[in-house]
Amino acid sequence: MTAVVETEGLTKFYGTRRGLEDLTLAIQPGEVFGYLGPNGAGKTTTIRLLLDVIRPTSGRATVLGADTRDTRVRARIGYLPGELALEGREKARDYLEFLAGVRGGVSRGRIDELAERLDADVSVRMSELSKGNKQKVGLIQAFMHEPELLVLDEPTSGLDPLVQQEFLAMVREVRTSGRTVLMSSHVLAEVEHVADRVGIVRSGRLVAVEDVAALRERAVRHVEFHFDAPVPKEAFEGLPGVRDLVVEGTSLRCTIDGRPDALIKAAARFTVVHMVSAEPDLEEIFLTYYSEEEARHGRAGA
């Protein structure tokens, strides 16, 4: 299986300032890859290198099997810039039709269909588009030609929650049809529900690539059980992954690292009347991960 996006030692310096250093990454077909990091970490630099807007200082990158310099594959890519600029007296629809034409055309009614879905007004001049509408026009142009690869830089910025949901649904549809998405964000919460994997970039370096399912498995979960009769504490002590165990009469509270399997099986020996399990906060693990990495780097550097 050939990767849709593949980079090797990809490095970009702006003069002496580091934009991105030594990025080696492969994104597989049908995958939704979340690219995470704080502002200025190198997300946009990576994306602009993949789209050949800027040129690498060293290293190489291929997109859809071709060198990034090859303009022929561009029609099969949908790109949403991080700072989308739309200006001029041209109507949004005319601009969309221009972009569609250059990329080889889109099916009739496709622009209207997407505009309706995102509740975007494409009949106004570009200079009169509101911030939210600009972002919607940007999404329409990225999705309209049903590209094999979508590269979206901070796609949800400026969108209201309802439209964000619609956008996430569109991303899921893209994945279902076997196409690939690379989307950046500075918060995990925005991508965790659609991304299969996340890459964490910080100060121009990729510090981790994590499977979201694995991340979720590693997540710390707060759990509460209520039984019909008091339970002995000993029955739950020493279970793998169970911490902070508190048993008070008929109720049990604890946190679990990773799989809840052992706890569930232990609880099943009693009669459970009620159970509460909070959604794991990936952001929390994520930040823990971050600070550990940071501390290690700090020590290594000292």
Residues that bind other proteins (CB under 8 A): 14, 48, 51-55, 71-75, 77, 79, 81, 83-90, 98-99, 101-104, 141
Tokens of 114: 């997407």
Task: Map residue 53 onto helix, strand or coil.
Answer: coil
Q: Report yes or no: 140 and 96 within 8 Å, Cβ to Cβ.
A: yes
CB of 236 to other proteins, least distance (A): 57
Give whichever of 155 and 280 is closer to other proteins, judged by the CB atom: 155
Tokens of 192: 């965790």
Give whichever of 74 and 221 is closer to other proteins, judged by the CB atom: 74
CB of 74 to other proteins, least distance (A): 4
Q: Report yes or no: 182 and 48 within 8 Å, Cβ to Cβ.
A: no
CB of 71 to other proteins, least distance (A): 4
Q: List the one residue out of 111, 84, 86 whose CA is nearest residue 97.
A: 111
CB of 83 to other proteins, least distance (A): 6
Long-range contacts of 105-113 (CB under 8 A, 24+ apart): 105/145, 106/144, 106/145, 106/146, 110/144, 111/140, 111/144
Give whichever of 89 and 269 is closer to other proteins, judged by the CB atom: 89
Give whichever of 49 and 252 is closer to other proteins, judged by the CB atom: 49
CB of 126 to other proteins, least distance (A): 9
Task: Map residue 180 onto helix, strand or coil.
Answer: strand
Tokens of 277: 């399990």
Q: Report yes or no: 241 and 262 within 8 Å, Cβ to Cβ.
A: yes
Question: Vertex 76, ends 7 and 40: CA angle to 5°?
Answer: 45
CB of 70 to other proteins, least distance (A): 9
Query: Within the chain, where are the H helices?
Result: 43-50, 92-102, 110-118, 131-143, 161-176, 188-191, 212-217, 261-267, 282-301
Give whichever of 104 and 232 is closer to other proteins, judged by the CB atom: 104
Give whichever of 98 and 230 is closer to other proteins, judged by the CB atom: 98
CB of 130 to other proteins, least distance (A): 17
Tokens of 159: 């969108």
